[in-house]
Structure 1
Amino acid sequence: MQDHPSGAKFSDTKPQRSLFERLTALISPEPENRAELLEILHDAHERSLIDADALSMIEGVFQVADLSARDIMVPRAQMDVIDLNKPIGEWMPLVLKTAHSRFPAVDGERDKVVGILLAKDLLRYYADESFNPRDMLRPAVFIPESKRLNVLLRDFRANRNHMAIVVNEYGGVAGLLTIEDVLEQIVGDIEDEYDLDDTEDNILSIKDSARGQRWRVKALTEIEQVNETFGTDFPNDDVDTIGGLVANHLGRVPHKGDVFEMGGLRFEVLRADARQVHLLMVTRIPPAPAETQ
């Protein structure tokens, strides 16, 4: 290999930083924690060095590391399952209505998940008179409520799984998660042709043995629906959604981790990006104990 004029081999040379770059490094040292890094990224966004979508995805990656399965799972009560003890004709309408690609298969009750049935495998039902859905089941993957989403995403990719059943500390089924649920924390909501404008899952009730009753609320939920659910009286004169009301209350775009009280409810921001809030956790504020005379 030909020597570099300076005496060092070309492969060993490193690009020399300019005087300005070295002075900037001295004045603005590297970030020492995540908060400082995010502050730099927000500053880069304000100076149009990165766009809002890129900033949102970077923030989503950080949020995935902070969230656990219990934070975004579909609660047990809202799971669409098929009961293998029932005739196919009884649960086939559910398969057609929901249009999911896979379903947890249970043996009589929701705590007895025996496998995962892919909707495409049901095509054989119409061609084979001896079709038995139990023969089509794929193994179910069970995870604890505390499993971190970044670890779960890595497991999904490594094992080529798309769905996991979340279990509580007693081994009972608490809910389910799909790889799409995890990816949506990074890239935002993923909608397909089967995603309808349905308000049923805007507010999901979560029973947590450790923290009591909570509700996971989408920020795009209309204030009227929030008022009906929680018995509140939030105004909808200026904004239509609870996310807009939260932003007005804080006077800025909400940040992930923000916790505040409003209208007798405690709000925690579960997911937000540089432009808007996406997901909230809501709990009722217990009434103050009556003073004794």
Structure 2
Amino acid sequence: MDTQNIGRIAIIIITIIFSALFSSCETAFSSVNKIRLKNYAAQGNKRAAKALKIANAFEDALTTVLVGNNIVNITMASVATVLFTSLLGSKGVGISTVVITVLVLIFGEVLPKSYAKENAEKLSLLFAAPLSALIFIFKPIVLFFNLLASVLKSDKTEPTVTEDELKYIIDEIEEQGVLEEQESDLVKSALEFDEITVNEILIPRIKVVGVEKNASIEEIKNLFIEEMYSRIPVYEKSLDNIIGMITNKRFFKMLSQGGDDISEIIQDVAHFSDLKLISEALRDMQRLKTHLAVVLDQYGGTKGIITLEDIIEELVGEIYDENDEIVPHLIKISDNEFEVTGDLSISDMLEEIGLDENLIESTYTSVGGWVTELLEHIPENNETAQYGNFFITVLKVKEQSVEKLNIRISSSEAEK
């Protein structure tokens, strides 16, 4: 074999190596963990800072890699054609095509990309400096292709990850053991936090325990002792005019000092529309330094109240203190029969049962409200209703409010 063909073989080997490097570089930067790079960069790792910069502007890096990869692959194919033609004559063209295709596929694509996928962090740190230099060298070409892409690209920008996809990722991470179930639930609750209105978590007016401003000290003391609440709303004439709240701590301190006028210890409360998001309500309550807020209906009347604890429970789950009576909201009687409290939200009930949260459509958020809507009147004890495959029996009604129900689901729906 003459020296020219030896030189051509050397060029083919070198271009295959470069093809492998470009391919692994592309995969490494497209799959590297940016959060980890950010942490390394914050600790002073200069290579990580460069790698993070490339990963954040991946379009420029991708254009550079693709241009470089095409240059080496075209060079490889051209040199291989000349080599095989000189060795085999006219048959060399077809043979060179087959050989180069196999070589590029195995050594220029599959193997380097598979390796880079498993070692993205290590390779991105290794390639950061040389790729930065190449991006600078190819800058005019990169700008041209980016301009061309912007002309062809739609103006509508889609999110890189949707909320549902993010929840799926969290479930996958939990299955891998990176997150505990409690941590996973906390993250998912945080994602849903911005979608919940105060209307969905309020304590309804019918269950609000308040005190009239002119009530006697003895009445208020008995109310605190009997109900064991840490704070009670104060109203004038009716609950539609809640003017503030008093805390048990301030009330009993006032009593110990011989005081008898609660107007001195009444604290302001916030007033919110029932459409206000709990994320906004939380910020406002923190700003106003209040633990209780009144929720108003469209006519300005009191629809219910919410507390800071109610909002925080949407993130971390139920919070119980030593005075709380722990009553389960849902008791499983069998695989398709459940005992449910009326104040349980429809979405929570369906989630606990394991059914699609959109299975029940209602203008109400609670199970009790949903059943009242179905019957079109205030339910009575032992009254029944049906909604699709849901068979409902009202077990307990108190003060026009549904407190407990039995729900049986047909086997076809329960198996879904």
Shorter-chain TM band: 0.5 to 0.7
Is residue 2:271 matched to residue 1:152? no
Task: Name the structure, 1 or 2, with higher relative contact order (CA <8 Å, separation 6+).
Answer: 1
Matches within 5 A, 1:28-47: 31-47=160-176
Structure 1 pair 250–189 and aligned structure 2 pair: CA distance change class (3 A): closer
From 200, 221, 233, the equivalent of 2:330 is: 221
Helix, strand or coil: the match of 2:258?
coil
> Deviations along 1:1-43, whole A, 9 cap, x unmatched?
xxxxxxxx9657527489226879xxxxx95210111111111
Q: Comparing both structures, which one devotes a greater share of its residues to strand? A: 1
CA deviations over 1:241-288 (Å, ceiling 9, x no partner): 449xx99x9799637x71325xxxx68997xxxxxxxx8675133699
Whether 1:162 and 2:291 are equivalent positions in the alignment is yes
SS at match of 1:164: strand
Rounded to whole Å, the distance in 1 between the matches of 2:161 and 2:338 is: 40
- Residues 58/71 of structure 1: CA separation in 2 closer, same or farther (3 Å cut): same
Quick one: distance in 2 between partners of 1:55 and 1:281?
29
Matches within 5 A, 1:115-264: 115-197=244-326, 220-222=329-331, 236-238=333-335, 241-242=339-340, 254=354, 258-261=357-360
- Provide the aligned length of Structure 1 versus Structure 2: 227
Which residue is equivalent to 1:283?
Answer: 370
What RMSD, in angstroms, separates the aligned Cα atoms of the two structures? Answer: 3.7
Unaligned residue ranges in structure 2 (runs of 5+): 1-43, 53-114, 122-158, 376-384, 387-416
TM-score (norm 1): 0.66
- Look up the match of 1:20: 117
Please say which structure displays the higher CA radius of gyration: 2
Taking a change above 3 Å as real, the CA distance of residues 242 and 196 of structure 1, as seen in their structure-2 partners, is closer
> Which amino acid in structure 2 is aligned with residue 20 of structure 1?
K
CA distance, structure 2, for counterparts of residue 189 and residue 33 of structure 1: 28
Q: 1:11 to 1:131 in 2, by over 3 A?
A: farther
Measure, in 1, the Cα distance between the counterparts of 2:51 and 2:250: 60
Q: Which has the higher helix share?
A: 2
If the length of structure 2 is used for normalisation, what is the TM-score? 0.48
Aligned pairs for 1:37-116 within 5 A: 37-116=166-245
- The separation in 2 between residues aligned to 1:10 and 1:184, in whole angstroms, is 40
Relative distance call for 1:123 and 1:252 in structure 2 (3 A) is closer
**Mean alpha-carbon deviation: is it higher for 60-69 or for 155-164?**
155-164
Deviation sequence 1:216-262 (CA, Å, 0-9, x none): xx7x3347xxxxxxxxxxxx34465449xx99x9799637x71325x
**One-letter code aligned to 1:221:** L
CA 189–252 in structure 1, closer or farther in 2 if over 3 Å, else same? closer
CA contact (8 A) 2:268 2:290 kept: no
Distance 1:168 1:121, change over 3 A: same
- Percent identical pairs in the alignment equals 18
Q: Which moved more, 1:87-96 or 1:136-145?
A: 87-96
Task: Output the amino acid matched with 1:139.
Answer: D
**Secondary structure, counterpart of 2:194 in structure 1:** helix
Partners of 1:251 and 1:180 in 2: CA distance: 22
Which residue identity is paired with 2:216?
A: P
Deviation at 1:125, TM superposition (A): 3.9
For structure 1, the residue ranges without an aligned partner over 5 or more in a row are 1-8, 25-29, 200-217, 224-235, 271-278, 289-293
Q: Which residue of 2 aligns with 1:230?
A: none
